[in-house]
Amino acid sequence: MPILQLRNYGGVDNGQLANGEWWRLLTAQFVHVKQAHMLFNVITLFLLSLAVERAAGPFVLFLLWLLSGVAGTFASIYSVPPPYDIGSGASQALMGIAAAVIIFLWRTHDRPRWLVVTLSVTLILQLGLDLISAHYPKPGHVVGFLAGLILAVGLVPKSIRDPRLI
């Protein structure tokens, strides 16, 4: 699907936000241009979210996903001129969850190898794809990461000792 058609399927652009369609900041996270991109987001969100949910609970995971995704999507559409100012995908939320995993790993006593590998692969691939496609880290991904990092500092427990996380 061409990116310009995404606004008809749940994507968001500056004009829609100006018209009060703020709900599109949420729906845009479920719309993807390419199936491979969607599959990568789903798999890595699932794997990284396991640790965050077990450490902080489902409500905190939901808040991290929602707020980092919305903040990142909002930033991404303001960094691109029309008509390509269309926000889509869950990468912004994925970056927020990845930031929360960094806080989790920093605070936990056990660092599961699978989690460190998943986090590393996610961050390397995301940055690599950004550099290939845009030649710089995309603002939506950076803002999503920073939003997740700031939220996780306050929401992820200070001391984590849970054998289920290994």
Looking at residue 152, its pLDDT comes to 96
Q: Hey, what are 164's tokens?
A: 């289920």
Report pLDDT for 120.
97
The full length of the chain comes to 166
pLDDT of residue 154: 93
Give me the tens of pLDDT residue by residue for the chain, a chain 166 residues long. Answer: 577 788 888 899 999 999 999 999 999 999 888 888 889 999 999 999 999 998 899 999 999 999 999 999 999 999 888 888 999 889 999 999 999 999 999 988 778 999 999 999 999 999 999 999 889 999 999 999 999 999 999 998 887 655 455 4
In the chain, domain spans: 29-160
> What pLDDT is recorded for position 165?
52
pLDDT of 160:
65
Residue 96 to residues 59, 99, 150: CA-CA distances in angstroms?
Answer: 15, 5, 9
Contact in structure between 87 and 11 (CB atoms under 8 Å):
yes
pLDDT for res 60 = 95
Would you state the pLDDT for residue 163? Answer: 47
Per-residue confidence (pLDDT) for residue 127, from 0 to 100:
96
Q: pLDDT at position 2, please?
A: 72
The predicted pLDDT at position 1 comes to: 53
Tell me if 13 sits within 8 A of 82, measured CB to CB: yes
Residue among 80, 95, 68, 73 nearest 10 (CA)? 73
- pLDDT value at residue 166: 44
